[in-house]
Amino acid sequence: MSKIKPSKGAPYARILGVGGYRPTRVVPNEVILERIDSSDEWIRSRSGIATRHWASPEETVTAMSVEASGKAIADAGITPEQIGAVVVSTVSHFKQTPAVATEIADKIGAGKPAAFDISAGCAGFGYGLTLAKGMIVEGSAEYVLVIGVERLSDLTDLEDRATAFLFGDGAGAVVVGPSDEPHIGPTVWGSEGDKSETIKQTVPWNEFNVGDVSKLPLNNQGEIKFPAITQEGQAVFRWAVFEMAKVAQQALDAAGISADDLDVFIPHQANMRIIDSMVKTLKLPEHVTVARDVETTGNTSAASIPLAMERLLATGQAKSGDTALVIGFGAGLVFAATVVTLP
């Protein structure tokens, strides 16, 4: 017989507060068109994106996260000292170690919480939310701060007609805490590594700037290109529309609800066409509010779901207590979907 005492966590977990930060600079499609042969009409028709936010040098991954976290903590009605763990999902923090989560935890005044980064691309928020739920139910933390943050402008090839218009910067954060009732459903998550080449970084860091330019991509000025995100657009579109709608339905089934029970749908803000296609495939009723934050925020990867959630609540399009289906999907290819009650 084991001598280990059982964990004493909460029965369930829920999102208690949400916060977001968008950089001050708003970048319209006209700026993107300075480097690619396209048009505003083409960009809008292909992606639904009209503007995106790009960070200044001062708006670092850490700085944006601190701003979003402060709002989420205040919204949750707790103090930073009560945070027992900080989970940060990002692919655009370029320092390999230490984890940026440790720096963020210190700057928000959280004391000495567990702090670590995860790399799960556009599904990162869902992964972080699932880990937070587990920590709270297991009893290793009472409150967990989950952050999705990206400076994708640093990883954008502005001469790539297929991706130059897609990406934006920002940070979204939620506080997850204890609950007496289930407010975060089972997570349906996974990966399809055989499709990992469809979204990837162009050049590995260890091959960048090795001195032999013949092995590295060059821009139109003959300069070595910084590593960027590239993707096979049509393959990603087909996968997202057909396969991710199945995952979303599985999340509804796992939570024991139907589309009719939903109030809000918050998919990863990848592309307006993908969002609209998923709504159609899932046969969502007219009463369901659909997040379409991508129009003015662009694709912010791990930050997109909490940013969209924060905007829906701030504008009154959604309200506290609403039942929402959230799903993230992207590089890996990875995915995560669950049903939550909005804070």
Instruction: Show which residues are catalytic.
Output: 122, 268, 299
Q: What angle do CA 24, 29, 35 make, to 5 degrees?
A: 110
Are 22 and 59 within 8 A, CB to CB? no
Count helices and strands (H / E) in the chain.
10, 14
Nearest alpha carbon to residue 10 among 257, 187, 184: 184
CA 327 – CA 126 distance, rounded (Å): 7
Q: What residue has token string 């943050």?
A: 149
**Residues with Cβ within 8 Å of residue 45, at least 6 apart in sequence:** none
Encode 127-194 in three state secondary structure.
HHHHHHHHHHHHCCCCEEEEEEEEEHHHHCCCCCCCCCCCECEEEEEEEEEEECCCCECCCEEEECHH
Evaluate the CA torsion angle 333, 101, 107, 152 in order and state its sign.
Answer: negative
Q: Is 9 exposed, middle or buried (0-12, 13-18, 19+ CB in 10 A)?
A: middle
